[in-house]
């Protein structure tokens, strides 16, 4: 009897898998997923690209790269995030969104967070504003086969990050073959009153967005992907 039940269970799974078509990616789209690795993230992200339509969803004109990014604080992890600020030595002063060339340690110390090494500060966000309901988010729903994008407040329109020539030149100068990974993240910024330094909390290696950038000289286009 147990063998019969096991057989039918396997059959149901096989039929289910056969009926599930894996959607081929046709556009630049990434979001923080509700699985074991990502659910610890303090900040939740979703990113879309505005690509060159005549090629496909992964190629961009070099002078017209626009990334649509939404981000917000994970309501399931907000207490842990705020507990990090409950330290007499460290004062949470603001949040900052950065693009940067190398994945950073969980906690990075610097003298000037506006000129952090190998990074560009995109936006400085007041802590009261960022911790408001406007930026509240959660990881959405998932099942055995797929996950759905995160849920942001209706008011949260996100930002349009245009990779200006300044940004592109900065990325390209960091490598000889014009193929590079860079990152986008929103991080809490603390002031260390004891050492007169700033602490940038980049979180775990699953926090932020990793963006692969490659300049195709033959097509004179930029290929991008995010993970």
- What are the structure tokens assigned to 70, written together? 């939404």
Q: Is residue 107 part of a domain?
A: yes
Q: Report how far residue 179's alpha carbon sits from residue 4's, in angstroms, rounded to the nearest whole number.
A: 54
Report the number of distinct structural domains present in the chain: 1
Q: Is residue 46 part of a domain?
A: yes
Q: Is residue 89 part of a domain?
A: yes
pLDDT computed for residue 167 by the predictor: 83
pLDDT computed for residue 37 by the predictor: 57
pLDDT computed for residue 134 by the predictor: 95
pLDDT computed for residue 141 by the predictor: 73
pLDDT computed for residue 63 by the predictor: 82
- In terms of Cα–Cα distance, which of 180, 183, 221 is closest to 63? 221
Q: Is residue 9 part of a domain?
A: no
Q: Is residue 147 part of a domain?
A: yes
Q: Is residue 6 part of a domain?
A: no
Q: Is residue 7 part of a domain?
A: no
pLDDT computed for residue 54 by the predictor: 53
Q: Which has more pLDDT, 109 or 141? A: 109
Q: Is residue 16 part of a domain?
A: no
C-alpha angle 119-201-210 in degrees, rounded to nearest 5: 50
pLDDT computed for residue 102 by the predictor: 80
Q: What are 169-224's pLDDT values in tens digits?
A: 888 777 665 668 888 999 999 998 888 999 888 776 667 888 888 888 888 888 88
Q: Any idea which of 13-17, 51-55, 109-113, 164-168 has the lowest mean pLDDT?
A: 13-17
Which range scores top for mean pLDDT: 61-65, 122-126, 166-170?
122-126
Q: Report how far residue 160's alpha carbon sits from residue 66's, in angstroms, rounded to the nearest whole number.
A: 6
Does the pTM surpass 0.75? The reply is: yes
Q: Per-residue pLDDT averaged across 43-49, rounded?
A: 89
**pLDDT category, 77, cuts 50, 70, 90?**
confident
Q: Name the residue range of residue 60's domain.
A: 23-226
- In terms of Cα–Cα distance, which of 68, 60, 178, 168 is closest to 120? 168
């Amino acid at each position: 009897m147990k063998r019969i039940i096991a057989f039918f269970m396997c059959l149901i799974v096989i039929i289910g898998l056969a009926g599930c078509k894996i959607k081929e990616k046709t556009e630049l789209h990434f979001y923080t997923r509700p699985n074991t690795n990502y659910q610890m993230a303090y900040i939740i992200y979703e990113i879309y690209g505005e690509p060159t339509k005549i090629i496909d969803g992964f190629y961009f004109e070099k002078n017209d790269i626009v990334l649509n990014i939404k981000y917000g604080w994970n309501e399931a992890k907000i207490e842990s995030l705020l507990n990090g600020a409950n330290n007499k030595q460290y004062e949470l002063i603001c949040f900052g969104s950065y693009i940067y060339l190398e994945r950073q340690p969980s906690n990075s110390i610097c003298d000037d967070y506006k000129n952090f090494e190998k990074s560009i500060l995109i936006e400085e966000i007041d802590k009261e504003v960022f911790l408001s309901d406007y930026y509240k988010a959660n990881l959405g729903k998932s099942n055995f086969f797929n996950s759905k994008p995160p849920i942001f407040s209706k008011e949260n329109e996100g930002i349009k990050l245009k990779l200006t020539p300044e940004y592109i030149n900065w990325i390209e100068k960091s490598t000889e073959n014009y193929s590079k990974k860079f990152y986008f993240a929103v991080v809490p910024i603390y002031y260390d009153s004891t050492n007169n330094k700033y602490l940038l909390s980049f979180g775990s290696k699953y926090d932020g967005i990793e963006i692969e950038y490659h300049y195709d000289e033959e097509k004179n286009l930029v290929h991008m992907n995010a993970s």
